[in-house]
Structure 1
Amino acid sequence: MKPTYSSSGNSSNCSSGNNISQVLFPLLYTCIFFIGIIMNGLAMGVFFQISSKSNFIVFLKNTVISDILMILTFPFKILSDAKLVSWELRGFVCKVTQVVFYFTMYISIIFLGLITIDRYMKTARPFKSSSINNVLAAKILSIFIWIFMFSLSLPNMILTDNKPTRENVKKCADLKSDFGLVWHEIVNYVCQFIFWVNFVIIIICYTLITKELYKSYKRTRCMGKANKKTVNIKVFIIIGVFFVCFVPFHFARIPYTLSQTRDAFECSTQKTLFYIKESTLWLTSLNACLDPFIYFALCKSFRKSLLKTLHKCAIQTRGDQSTETTDDEETPM
């Protein structure tokens, strides 16, 4: 039976607005916006001081750019969901910032997969350094990923072309043309494919990494250097972030998308899927706050540069305070 696509009907009359969506989620996004902008702004500043001398650093730099772009979409979502501004902003959120949010999410997922492959290669062959050709290939691959994801996402902006009204902006699907709904569902399946490919890559790589670390642990234990294990174990932060942030959402996204693009779901089911989707979507947003821990734990150059920067700031702050104290003491009564 041919599926029925609709931008009206049942779905238009089923609203999910209440205190949870208007108060709780905006507060949660506000928290991660301020934390994320500070952490990623600092990470970006540190990465500007580090040369792209390895594939790993190239992939990390792309990840922090993706995270900053994602974070910049949060204020629009916060204001729109909390209904603190006019309904016209909701149309902009549906057409632009929501698309950018998903665009950056899948770029982050792809780069987490590439970082995992790089960490496996580093674990399996710890003394092999990246050549200039490998770094150049990593840069070209990164550019291709951005172009591919942008090409996939741009039609979602263009095809969200129904005129916004106070009623149809309540659901972004109602702003899409008929082909826009079809394209939205196609993109959803492509993104699901991207996720599951990277999911398999991460599972396989971490299975192999675990085997390598176990072999290393057995060797170092025999040599009386068992503390080596606690250093290498930090590599598992990547799979931890991936499972916390991205896995729950991808179990919820397909049924939610179907509920948005087809008139086959009851209103109560649509609302339930909406809350599940919003809760797991917030977890994906949390990735922007957790990625800096990956940089600090696994990138020695980043860690050294960050600590050096913080040390300079601490010295400068103490110097300013000392100057102020001296000035106070020399001020005549």
Structure 2
Amino acid sequence: MSDDSTAFLIICIITFLIGFPNAVLAFCSCIRKIHRKPIPIDIFMLNLVVSDLIFLTFLPIKMKEAADNMVWNMPYILCRINIFMFFLPIYSSGLFLTAISAERYVCVAFPVKYKSPKRFIYTVLICVIICVLVVITSIFPYKAAFLDSNKADNTTNKHHLVAEPQRCYSNFTAKQLRELLPARLSIVVVFFLLPLFICCFCYISLIRILIKCPLFKRQRKLRVIGLVVGTLLVFAISFAPYNASHIVGFIKKENPNWRNKTLMLSTLNACFDPIIFFCISKDMRKAIKVCVKALCNLMPI
């Protein structure tokens, strides 16, 4: 197994071990909170958690691919399903993080408007729009990637006798690249640059308000700082290198060889989201404290 495949496998395992239990805890906390008294932030957080759970549920498929040295030894249909289940949660996570940043800013900057009885309806509508936008936008690169798939070792080949190892979403023909690269560039704009700009604006404005207003408690200010740090970690480490590969690929008219390395970093998205869950949800903080206390009690003195 190559060094890149080994690193990919290790990162996937770490992401799964950290992300999955935290996502389950966050999901249970969101459901309990929504059942009691739902507010907009709970709806956004629930959708972010669901995105992470979908991603983490299908992550073992990526582990198997990495363990096989990025050779696709699984059924053909799993390759196409895996592409959707790997990339869609990444795209949706960025938009839901943006929605959370905007909601936190509106909550502090416009507290009167925030209490509008229609805010819950608007929140649900925004979540539906995000989900529809992610699915529709993702269809274009998905279709482009499978044009003339018999000419590129792009997915598991249906023929039994092949000269080269089978790979999933890796090599592309010139025709595929002509369709795929512009689609990837549009994804950079819609799912990275625009959300990053909105998040930066909302959190910079929010921090300025908190600094100027002495009424906010120190704990709340620290939670906002943690929320900002968690969001920036996701965008800077998980999303930025991956989207940079799209920009470079569009300029050079090729699929960069180092793109797989950026995919490794994108999987860490589910590792950073628990920071956001912890800063937003009081129930999540309580659940983590209970789990830590239980683990401490089980450990021998």
TM-score normalized with structure 2 length: 0.78
1:258 to partner: Cα distance: 6.3
Aligned counterparts of 2:113 and 2:282: Cα–Cα separation in 1: 16
Q: Does the Cα contact within 8 Å between 1:234 and 1:298 map onto a contact in 2?
A: no
Match of 2:228 in 1: 236
Q: From the superposition, tell whether residues 229 and 110 of structure 1 become closer, same or farther in structure 2 (CA, over 3 Å).
A: closer
Aligned to 2:210: 213
Secondary structure of 2:38's aligned partner: coil
Unaligned runs of 5+ in 2: 151-155
Picking from 241, 245, 248, the partner of 2:241 is 248
Matches within 5 A, 1:128-139: 129-139=114-124
- Identify the residue that residue 89 of structure 2 maps to in structure 1: 104
Percent identity over the alignment is 22
Q: Distance in 1 between matches of 2:33 and 2:220?
A: 26
User: What corresponds to 2:22 in structure 1?
Assistant: 39
Larger relative contact order (CA 8 Å, sep ≥ 6): 1
From 180, 186, 189, the counterpart of 1:184: 180
The match for 2:4 is 21
Larger Rg: 1
Q: 1:70 is matched with which residue?
A: 55
When residues 197 and 90 of structure 1 are mapped into structure 2, their CA distance, relative to the original with a 3 A threshold, is farther
Runs ≥4 residues deviating over 6 A: 225-228
Q: Deviations over 1:167-191 (max 9, x none)?
A: 374462546793x544422321221
> What amino acid does structure 1 have at the position aligned with 2:119?
N
With the length of structure 1 as denominator, give the TM-score of the two structures: 0.71
Q: Supply the AA of the counterpart residue of 2:228.
A: F
Aligned pairs for 1:306-321 (under 5 A) are: 306=287, 310=291, 314=294
Deviations 1:2-42 (A, max 9, x none): xxxxxxxxxxxxxxxx6123322112212212222222122
Q: Per-residue deviation at 1:230?
A: 3.9
Structure 1 pair 193–309 and aligned structure 2 pair: CA distance change class (3 A): same
Unmatched segments (≥5 aa) in structure 1: 1-17, 263-269, 322-333
Give the secondary-structure state (helix, strand or coil) at the position aligned to 1:50. Answer: helix
1:209-250 C-alpha deviation (Å, 9 max, x unpaired): 232122125x77xxxx77775455334233343323222332
1:299 corresponds to which letter in structure 2?
Answer: S
Match of 2:261 in 1: 279
Q: How many matched pairs?
A: 282
C-alpha spacing 1:188/1:310, structure 2 compared with 1 (3 Å): same
C-alpha distance in structure 2 between counterparts of 1:235 and 1:20, whole Å: 34
Q: For 2:235 and 2:250, how far apart are their aligned partners in 1? A: 22
> Is the CA contact (8 Å cut-off) linking 2:47 and 2:127 kept in structure 1?
yes
Q: State the one-letter code of the partner of 1:241.
A: V
Q: Residue type of the partner of 2:207?
A: T
Q: 2 CA distance for matches of 1:227 and 1:155? A: 45
SS in 1 for 2:267: helix
Decide whether the 8 Å contact of 1:39 with 1:292 is kept in 2: yes
